[in-house]
Amino acid sequence: MPTGIIGKKVGMTRIFKNGKAIPVTVIEVEPNYVVALRTEEKDGYNAVVLGTGAKKEKRTPKPLLKVFEKAGLKPLRVLKEFPLKEGEQLELGQEIKVENVFEVGDLVDIAGKSKGRGFASAMKRWDFGGFPKSHGSRYHRAVGSIGACEEPGRIWKSKRMAGHYGNERVSVLGLEVVDIIPEKNVILVKGSIPGAPKSYVEIKSSVIANRRKGKRKLERAKATYAS
């Protein structure tokens, strides 16, 4: 099986486990399909391209239509590449479900596009504290000084200022899988994830699961949610 799968963010809620309220994000994972395979002989590494979500044929580029035709699939909206677990072999057109990839208590990393907030001030974008709100001050939410006088005599690169906020790729590491509901194609993950409702996200096996803190967190999650 692949080390990840494509899902769609539904929203947030809470569930109760062992008398505790746990905040969770609901992710709908429609069946993913194997669109293409990457092999050691041809590409130098082993991976799989998964696709999900229906797409109109007239909106699909012709070269991509041939890829779907070779896999025996109709055009799909979202395509993502995931590494294959060692020793695993898949076939073109094969259906992958969330319960085939993850179990309750696993740690996952989730990546997606954050909400776009347009042009934002420095206080909203970078969480600046601002200036005094009283005592005659008329300088409340402005940036303040942005450079020195003589040396260096310019504004440094990467200076935190007002500008475009959001709409960028964000990854959250080490989230716990609280529950999987196969009949509804739903996975519940503890905590919040990037993106607006109905946006697509990548759910992958966590890169921190083998670290010391990750192992402790994994053991604790398995004991808590599997019971």
Tell me what pLDDT residue 225 has: 82
Q: What is the identity of the amino acid at 146?
A: I
Give the least confident one: 21-30, 36-45, 108-117, 144-153: 144-153
Full-model pTM: 0.85
pLDDT band at 224 (very low <50, low <70, confident <90, very high): confident
74 contacts 221 by C-beta, under 8 angstroms: no
How many domains, the chain? 3
Is residue 196 in a domain? Answer: yes
User: pLDDT-derived band of residue 196, with 50, 70 and 90 as boundaries?
Assistant: very high
**Contact criterion met (CB below 8 Å) for 46 and 40:** yes
Q: Are residues 81 and 106 in the same domain?
A: no
Which domain, by its residues, includes 91?
Answer: 31-96
- Band of residue 227 on the pLDDT scale cut at 50, 70, 90: low
CATH of the domain at 180: 2.40.30.10
149 — alpha (psi -120 to 50), left (phi > 0) or beta? alpha
Mean pLDDT of the chain: 90
* 152 part of a folded domain: no
Please report which confidence band the pLDDT of residue 134 belongs to, taking 50, 70 and 90 as the band edges. confident
CA torsion through residues 56, 60, 62, 65, sign: negative
Residues 86 and 125 occupy one common structural domain: no
Statement to judge: residues 20 and 129 lie in one domain: no
Q: Is residue 154 part of a domain?
A: no
Distances (CA, A) of 81 to 5, 48, 90, 95, 187: 9, 6, 14, 15, 20
197 shares a domain with 131? no
The confidence band for 41, taking pLDDT boundaries of 50, 70 and 90, is: confident
pLDDT tens-place string over residues 69-113 = 998 899 999 999 999 887 778 889 889 889 888 989 899 999 999
Domain match, 78 and 43 both: yes
pLDDT at residue 23 tops 70 = yes
Q: Looking up tokens 């044929």, which residue turns up?
A: 57
Alpha-helix residue ranges (DSSP H) falling in the chain: 40-43, 62-71, 98-101, 122-126, 212-225
- 105 & 214 share domain: yes
Domain membership flag for residue 1:
no
Task: Report pLDDT for 146.
Answer: 87
pLDDT at 197: 94
Q: Are residues 105 and 90 in the same domain?
A: no
**Which two three-digit tokens encode residue 164?**
């475009």
- pLDDT recorded at residue 201: 95
| Chain position carrying tokens 């790729």 | 169
Task: Report the C-alpha gap between 187 and 30 in whole angstroms.
Answer: 11
In this model, does residue 209 exceed pLDDT 90?
no
Residue closest to 36 by CA, chosen among 50, 57, 55, 52: 50
Mean pLDDT of 171-184: 92
E strand or H helix that includes residue 113: strand 107-113
Residue 149 placed within a domain: no
Domain presence at residue 108: yes
* 108 within 8 A of 86, measured Cβ to Cβ: no
Q: Over 70: is that where the pLDDT of 211 sits? A: yes
List C-alpha distances in Å: 187 to 14, 52, 193, 212, 223.
Answer: 13, 16, 13, 26, 18
Q: Is 52 domain-assigned?
A: yes
* 59 found inside a domain: yes
pLDDT at 222 (0 to 100): 86
